[in-house]
Structures are given as structure tokens and as C-alpha cells.
Amino acid sequence: MDYKATKKNPQWKWIKRWLDLAEHYASWSKDPSTKVGAVIVDDKNRLVSIGYNGMPQGLKNEDSYLNDRELKYKTIIHAEINALIFAQKTHADLSKCTLYTFPFLPCSNCMSIFLQSGIKTFITLKNDSERWKDSFEISRNLALDMNDVSVMEVEWYD
């Protein structure tokens, strides 16, 4: 499932562009500890949707939720889910789409939801964060146990 992206690979330019865009959207998150971005792209490399982790729209006292770690974990919407919500408003069939995430693989809950949505290709940076290690392993195993699903964990080599 590891994938080494190099300038010699014809997909490298697009992979880098979309991961860079996911990184950009991650910077929009107000989460003080973890900023995550997600980009959904169709099979013709056209942008379908974006998302970043954050609280529900219109929430009063957002800072009180973000600054209480336990409460934040119970209420924050992950970047991938935000991207999926907006994608489903405009793009009925996601089966030929790819999800790009920054800085790491979707958690196991998000991976399950995305597999159910029909997305079969997931591209992210290789990240072995000890904090999310168990969830990432479950995500990888979910993908392995599915037909025609690929996870590319990119290592940059110039």
C-alpha cells in the first residue's frame, strides 16, 4: 500500500497538487492541536469537494468546544466527513472519485463511511503517528478487505 511518488511518475504532478491543496485547507481548521484537510477529486482530476476539521456551522461558543479536548473529540466534524457532506450535495456518484487527505490517513470511522460512499482510492502522506496508529491500522485493514480499494501512502522523493 505504500507508494513512492517521484517526478518520473506521470501521476506525481496531480498527487502533489491535490495533497498540497489538502494541506492548504487543513490550515483553515481552528482546531488548536490537529489540522486536517481533505480533497475529493473525480476521475478526470476535477475538484469535487473540500473539507477541513471543525465544529458544526453556527455553533455558539466554538472556542469552548475546541479548548476542551474531551468535548472536542465528541463534537468535531472530521475533514473527510465535511468534504463528503458537500460532495454529496453536488456529485451523486462518488465511485470514481479519489480522496486526498493531509496530514494522514482517515481514521477507521471515516474510512468505513467513505467505503460505504463508494470511494475506492485514498491518497495521503505516509504518517506513522503513534497517537493514531491503531486507527490507521484498522483503516488499512478495512481497505485490504475490500474489493478494488487502494490506499496510497505517499513518501516524497525529489
C-alpha to C-alpha distance for 109 and 136, rounded to whole angstroms? 10
C-alpha to C-alpha distance for 26 and 22, rounded to whole angstroms? 6
Nearest one of 109, 107, 96, 117 to 41, comparing CA atoms: 96
CB 4 within 8 A of CB 27: no
DSSP, collapsed to helix, strand or coil, labels residue 132 as helix
Question: How many beta carbons lie within 10 A of that of residue 30, not counting itself?
Answer: 14
Which of these is catalytic: 62, 80, 130, 153?
Answer: 80
- DSSP assignment letter at 54: B
Q: Catalytic site residue 80?
A: yes
Catalytic residues: 80
